């Protein structure tokens, strides 16, 4: 028997946590929770749904190429299980059909709709086995946005879920704004009714926990509704919802998107949702490429085609004209590049000293160096060793005498007011002019 729904006399907005006139507060008063890793941890993708709400739309062909790269990353084990699509425009539906025609097992293309009767018809004709359904969970959305009571919202959501089940399609209910929701007064009663529908229909109804505004906190001591571990454990322990039915969808408004995703995995959620390069509303979603490497570290798996990440970054940069921040982890142009002399010195001695992992092997991105006034002879030696390797020459030490004229030239450039790094073309010309022996 599902617990009763609590219908408050006025919306529950948690003003003690969300004063609005100042940043949200982060009380830490709950007991520490031991870790409980979710069963079968894996990823899902929303590049072509939430990821398209923050950029110009992709063409169907561009979607197809990015979907191919998701498939490479997913591999035979299904690291990335599903990718969701809008169904509203012919452009959206054409992109979905293109990906369905690939015939890939992973990722499975799924739909996404609002909890509205007219949207259900879109799912009927989309050819998908599963669809997400937007079912807002907080009073901010139920009352202020939809103009409903909790009871009426619950009736609407359950009615749409039943319609989808009647079509033989799996529903995935998205609890929008769950980190501002009344967990015991609405979320748990709602999930218990979904569990009853699942038992009656014999179809697994999945649940996506949506940190829509990035309010989630990754520490187990953080209170509900913001504390991700407390939220996950309340759902699994109080309702019996198994982690295999749960998925986490986070935003990065407070720089905690990745941390909250890890917290969800470590406390019982099986699936974590992300997008290529973290594209998504406002500050974006959790970056898929970051989740891949965290998943590898969490599971110890190494059979992942991580070179697909570098190919995706190249496609975004060269084909889509996206300016990827140079320092963005795994995909930025400077992710394996140093400008500090002390780091360059370490890289000359052993790449492991200042490399996060074998970036040449896993991302086709060997350690590099940016030549400025901060690097000295060590940075020049590291840059020259890259050039010498191409020519089949042995590496140089940073104290090689012929480096001195080149180092002096670099320092003089910046003493004269230069403010940009020295390019490879400039360096090659300077070597030829000042110290030609360095590349011969």
pLDDT in tens, 8-53: 999 999 999 999 999 999 989 999 999 999 999 999 999 999 999 9
Which of 262, 291, 319 lies at the terminal end of a domain, its last residue?
319
Tens-digit pLDDT profile for residues 157-196:
999 999 999 999 999 999 999 999 999 999 999 999 999 9
Report the run of H or E that residue 42 belongs to, with start and end.
strand 42-45
What was the pLDDT predicted at 339?
67
Domain shared by 242 and 115, yes or no = yes
Cα–Cα distance measured from residue 83 to residue 95, given in angstroms and rounded to the nearest whole number? 12
List the helix and strand counts (H, then E) for the chain. 15, 10
In a domain, 85, yes or no: yes
Is residue 37 included in any domain, yes or no?
Answer: no
Q: Is the pLDDT of residue 341 over 70?
A: no
- Residue 265, in any domain of the structure: yes
d(CA 385, CA 393) in angstroms, rounded, equals 8
Mean predicted confidence (pLDDT) in 204-209 = 98
| Percent of the chain surpassing pLDDT 90 | 80
Confidence of residue 253 (pLDDT cuts 50, 70, 90): very high
Q: What is the pLDDT of residues 358-382, one digit of tens each?
A: 998 999 988 877 788 888 888 888 8
Same structural domain, 379 and 284: no
Helix (H, G, I), strand (E, B) or coil at 274: strand
SS3 of 328, please?
Answer: coil
Element (H, E) at 264: helix 257-266
For residues 168 and 53, state if they share a domain: yes
Q: How many domains does the chain have?
A: 2
Contact criterion met (CB below 8 Å) for 188 and 226: no
Residue 171 φ then ψ, to 5°: -85, 145
Domain annotation covers residue 137 = yes
Q: Are residues 58 and 153 in the same domain?
A: yes
Provide CB contacts within 8 A for 198, sequence distance 6+: 204, 205
User: Residue 349: pLDDT band by 50, 70, 90 thresholds?
Assistant: confident
**Phi (first) and psi of residue 92, to 5 degrees:** -60, -45
In a domain, 102, yes or no: yes
288-316 average pLDDT score: 97
pTM for the full model?
0.90
Does 306 share its domain with 375?
Answer: no
Candidate from 17-31, 243-257, 323-337, 342-356 with smallest mean pLDDT: 342-356
Question: pLDDT value at position 376?
Answer: 87
φ, ψ of residue 370 to 5 degrees: the values are: -105, 125
The first and second tokens of residue 38, run together, are 């979710």
Residues 197 and 95 in one domain: yes
d(CA 54, CA 274): 14
Asked whether 87 and 113 are in contact (CB, 8 A), the reply is yes
Looking at the fold, whether 215 and 354 belong to one and the same domain comes out as: no
The arithmetic mean of pLDDT across residues 225-247, rounded, is 96
**Mean pLDDT, rounded, of the chain:** 94
Q: Which two tokens stand for residue 98?
A: 């293109």
Q: Which of 319, 354, 371 is the last residue of a domain?
A: 319
- Asked if residue 244 and residue 199 are part of one domain, the reply reads yes
Query: Does residue 364 share a domain with residue 299?
Result: no
C-alpha 63, offset from chain centre: 17
CATH code for the domain in which residue 282 is found: 3.20.20.70
- What are the residues whose beta carbons fall under 8 Å from the beta carbon of 68, sequence distance 6 or more? 102
The verdict on residue 379 lying in a domain is yes
Judged against a pLDDT cut of 80, whether residue 282 lies above it is answered with yes
Both 201 and 105 in one domain: the answer is yes
Q: Please give the Cα distance from 167 to 185 (Å, whole number).
A: 31
Residue 29 placed within a domain: no
What's the gap between Cα 336 and its chain centre?
20
On whether both 240 and 169 belong to a single domain, the answer is: yes
Chain mean position to CA 269: 16
Is the same domain home to 63 and 127? yes
Q: Which domain holds residue 347?
A: 337-439
């Amino acid at each position: 028997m599902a617990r009763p729904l609590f219908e408050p006399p006025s919306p529950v907005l948690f003003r003690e946590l969300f004063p609005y006139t100042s940043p949200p507060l982060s009380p830490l008063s709950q007991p520490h929770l031991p870790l409980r890793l979710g069963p079968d941890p894996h990823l899902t993708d929303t590049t072509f749904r939430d990821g398209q709400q923050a950029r110009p739309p992709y063409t169907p062909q561009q979607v197809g190429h990015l979907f191919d790269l998701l498939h490479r990353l997913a591999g035979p084990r299904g690291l990335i299980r599903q990718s969701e699509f809008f169904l509203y425009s012919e452009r959206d539906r054409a992109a979905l059909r293109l990906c369905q025609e690939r015939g890939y097992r992973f990722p499975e293309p799924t739909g996404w709709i609002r909890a509205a009767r007219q949207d259900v018809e879109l799912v009927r004709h989309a050819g998908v086995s599963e669809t997400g359904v937007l079912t807002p969970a907080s009073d901010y959305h139920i009352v202020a946005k939809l103009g409903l009571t909790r009871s009426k919202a619950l009736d609407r959501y359950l009615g749409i879920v039943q319609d989808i089940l009647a079509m033989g399609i799996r529903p995935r209910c998205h609890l929008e704004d769950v980190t501002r929701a009344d967990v015991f007064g609405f979320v748990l009663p709602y999930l218990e009714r979904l569990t009853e529908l699942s038992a009656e229909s014999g179809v697994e109804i999945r649940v996506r926990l949506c940190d829509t505004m990035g309010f989630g906190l990754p520490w187990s001591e953080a209170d509900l509704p913001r504390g991700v571990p407390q939220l996950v454990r309340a759902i699994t322990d109080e309702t019996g919802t198994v982690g295999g039915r749960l998925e986490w969808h986070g935003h990065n408004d407070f720089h905690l998107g990745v941390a909250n995703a890890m917290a969800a995995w470590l406390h019982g959620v099986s699936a974590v949702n992300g997008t290529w390069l973290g594209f998504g509303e406002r500050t974006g979603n959790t970056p898929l490429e970051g989740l891949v490497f965290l998943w590898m570290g969490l599971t110890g798996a190494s059979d992942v085609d991580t070179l697909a990440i570098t190919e995706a970054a190249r496609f975004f940069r060269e084909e889509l004209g996206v300016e990827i921040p140079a320092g963005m982890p795994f995909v930025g142009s400077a992710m394996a590049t140093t400008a500090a002399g002390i780091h360059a010195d370490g890289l000359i001695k052993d790449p492991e000293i200042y490399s996060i992992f074998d970036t040449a092997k896993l991302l086709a991105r060997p350690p590099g160096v940016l030549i400025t006034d901060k690097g000295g002879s060590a940075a020049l030696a590291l840059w020259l060793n890259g050039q010498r390797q191409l020519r089949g020459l042995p590496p140089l030490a940073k104290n090689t005498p012929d480096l001195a004229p080149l180092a002096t030239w670099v320092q003089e450039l910046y003493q004269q007011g230069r403010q940009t790094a020295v390019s490879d073309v400039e360096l090659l010309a300077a070597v030829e002019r000042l110290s030609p022996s360095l590349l011969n």
